[in-house]
Amino acid sequence: MILRRAVSIFGCMLGILLVNPMRGSAQDLHPDVEGFLIAPPDALRPAEGERGVNIIGDSSEPGLYVLQLTWAPGTGSRPHYHNQARYIQVLKGTWWVSTGAAADVYDPDSMIPVEEGSFIYEPPEGHHYDMAKDEEVVVQIWGMGPVNTTRLPSITAL
């Protein structure tokens, strides 16, 4: 059921992408005169001191967005949730996640690995946190904006 819904939503997002003009991104990715955008790997690497690249749209604005985040080893997030669904593909490395009620308490030792090539669906209001443990991780995130992120109170496992 969730997979069918995710595929349906992805198809709708692709349709929106093909119909709506693209907004600028952090890397100034722009479509050609016929509306196509081909971004070589160098254009998808974050600028010095940045973690991500907006490929299409902006998660804080209405409409489709696609962003690519690069996480250095040992970096990640604390427990939080988003008001909108997010669709994530792990492009490089092993991404570690905690989801659901267990994610209300920050405990990196209880996280599960999500291998390169895997897909994650984060439902609206789904509590989670994630990180790159011992290697660089690149994830690509799709969704519909605007997205609001709510941080959960900081509770750490003993």
Instruction: Work out the average pLDDT over 18-23.
Output: 33
pLDDT at 15 over 50: no
Instruction: Work out the average pLDDT over 122-142.
Output: 98
* Domains of the chain, residue spans: 2-151
Please state which CATH number belongs to domain 2-151: 2.60.120.10
Instruction: Work out the average pLDDT over 119-142.
Output: 98
Q: How far from 30 is each of 22, 45, 89, 149, CA to CA, in Å?
A: 8, 16, 23, 27
The CA radius of gyration of the chain, in Å to the nearest whole number, is 16
Q: Which residue from 51, 75, 88, 82 is spatially nearest to 134, judged by alpha carbons? A: 75
CA 45/CA 39 separation, integer angstroms: 10
In this prediction, residue 1 carries a pLDDT of: 56
pTM equals 0.79
User: What does the CA dihedral 135, 136, 137, 138 come to, rounded to 10 degrees?
Assistant: -160
